[in-house]
Amino acid sequence: MLRRTYDRLGCFEYFEGNDKCILIKEQSKTKVREVYLTSKSAGEIALSICPTHAGIMIGRLGKRLVPSLQGAEIIYQLGRKYPFITVNEMGEKLVLYGRDVFGQSITDASPNIKASQNLVIINSRQETLAIGLAKVPSQHIFKEGSVTVINVLDIGYYLRFQGKELS
Amino acid sequence: MSVYSFPPSTISNEISQEFGYKEWMVCRFLQFIPKLEDCLGAMEKEPPKYIRINTLKITKSELIQKLIQKDIMYEDTILDEVLLIKSSRYPIGATTEYLRGYYYIQDLSSCLAVDELDVLPNQLNLDMASAPGGKTTYISQKMQNSGCVIALEPSIKRINALRFNLLRCGVRNSCIYALSGAHAGKLGLKFDRILLDAPCSGEGIIAKDPTIKTRLVPQQIANCVHRQIELLQCAINIVKPGGLIVYSTCTFAPEENELVINKLLSMNNKIKIEPQKYGEPGLTKYGDLILDQRLTNTRRFYPHLHNTSGFFIAKIRVISGE
């Protein structure tokens, strides 16, 4: 399933490349399966001595892979097949404060976004700021005066939550 | 190990009054800190802000371009990847570049400790007291995300901070264990390099926490020493023959610095102290106490001489058995 996901997203060579290891950890209480990207050595050690955390958590595996913020960033930067919106400077500031995205802040978007689809929110320099959830499809995503993309998780979350673990 | 005290004098009384320290601290500082008033004066000012470029995510020239665009003025330092921030319109810890992990706010002295560790790609390395992750991320950066760096941190709350910083900086060659450094032997691994940035009394970071001037008591120093010796002996036991340990603290107290190394030299005949590039030589005399001459290879850093936090670094090589 993971390999099919990588292939579909155009990042197969990266995740299957040298010195990379993919680990899957099932949380005993919640049964949620987390997918981690590590170096080969770190992966070997993690398999023999189970750590609290290893490498980068790139997503959660249910019926399909739901990328984390870091996973979405890797996939977007590599494959560019991941849906995205680009926000202007004001939109960037609001996103980094944890706010949702208004249509007028969006300067560009993937053409085939569907409502309730996951996407990455990037700035004008192609830098990933957040993962978001489209409230509306592409044709309505630029609508002024409305929140058209929900900010699910942005890179500023830690500073706001002061290190508390997020579910 | 006891904490040494020294008799008060007119000078110690004047200095403690001027700078707001407990006099017993000043009496001790007068024994070994050169130009003490300059040092304490430097710690009254806001500490210098350094950033370390995270080359896992960006090159130095690319980051400099971004800093210039944001009107952030900087200067180069003795380490190529570390910049001194001279002025900034924005809080340096709240920029998009910081949140994206392009740099880490980290004192130059901390970076020097990692630099002395002489880390190479594909090694198995250990950071015994890892949180919040400044040195761990630097180790990973020098390893180019290869091999493995084991990061230990017993506090769950601090693990969250550690994890955030590792994620932010794009570190994928790490394994975090909720374990005290004293129990690192339980992992059953032997390491090429070990960094022990030991918990200490923090005298060297009074500029960041002025309450240390009045709340520190000698018993706290004694407690730290006991722990530091335990941690360092553990490190010596689990490093590979020929491997390297860097022991560092952010305190001036010789009891936590040279005397700890002195103790370990007397307990272990298979270690040697290697010379370092920067800093003041460590003490070989403290009051009436004559210490091992090999301690001249340890290094002290002072705010007024080196423009860093107060810091101590010892570079310990475990001699190969062959």
Best CA proximity match to A14, nearest among A64, A111, A79: A79
- Partners of A46 on chain B (C-beta within 8 Å) are 175
B177 vs A: CB within 8 A: yes
Which of A44, A45, A159 is most worth mutating to test chain B (most B CB atoms within 10 A of its CB)?
A: A45
Query: Residue ranges of chain A with pLDDT lower than 70?
Result: 1-17, 79-80, 162-167
B190 vs A: CB within 8 A: no
What pLDDT is stored for residue A4 in this prediction?
Answer: 62
B28-75: pLDDT as tens digits: 999 999 999 999 999 999 999 999 999 999 999 999 999 999 999 999
Supply φ then ψ for residue B204, to 5 degrees.
Answer: -75, -10
- The residue type at A86: T
Percent of chain B's residues with pLDDT above 90: 96
CB–CB contact A42 B160 (8 Å): no
CB–CB contact B175 A51 (8 Å): yes
CB–CB contact A158 B147 (8 Å): no
Picking from A46, A57, A164, the nearest residue to B160 by CB comes out as: A164
- Partners of A159 on chain B (C-beta within 8 Å) are 93-94, 99
What pLDDT is stored for residue A159 in this prediction?
Answer: 76
What pLDDT is stored for residue A9 in this prediction?
Answer: 60
- Return the structure tokens found at B228: 């530091």
B65 vs A: CB within 8 A: no
- Partners of A54 on chain B (C-beta within 8 Å) are 174-176
Q: Which domains does chain A carry?
A: 2-79 (no CATH), 84-161 (2.30.130.10)
What pLDDT is stored for residue B80 in this prediction?
Answer: 97
What pLDDT is stored for residue A167 in this prediction?
Answer: 42
B88-118: pLDDT as tens digits: 998 999 899 999 999 999 999 999 999 999 9
Average pLDDT estimate for B180-208: 97
Picking from B94, B122, B148, the nearest residue to A45 by CB comes out as: B148
What pLDDT is stored for residue A17 in this prediction?
Answer: 66
B178 vs A: CB within 8 A: yes
> CATH code for B108-318?
3.40.50.150
Supply φ then ψ for residue A143, to 5 degrees.
Answer: -60, 125
B249-306: pLDDT as tens digits: 999 999 999 999 999 999 999 999 999 999 999 999 999 999 999 999 999 999 999 9
Between CA B139 and CA B136 the distance in angstroms is: 5
What pLDDT is stored for residue B2 in this prediction?
Answer: 83
Average pLDDT estimate for B146-153: 98
- What distances in angstroms separate CA B9 from CA B4, B12, B23, B43, B100, one per listed residue? 16, 5, 9, 22, 52
Between CA B128 and CA B135 the distance in angstroms is: 11
- The residue whose two tokens read 């990692």 is B114
pTM exceeding the 0.80 threshold for the entire prediction: yes
ipTM computed for the complex: 0.89
Strands B148-152 and B174-177: parallel
Average pLDDT estimate for B220-243: 97
Which segments of chain B are extended strands (E)? 49-53, 73-76, 82-87, 103-105, 124-127, 148-152, 174-177, 191-197, 239-249, 271-273, 280-281, 285-286, 289-290, 299-301, 311-318
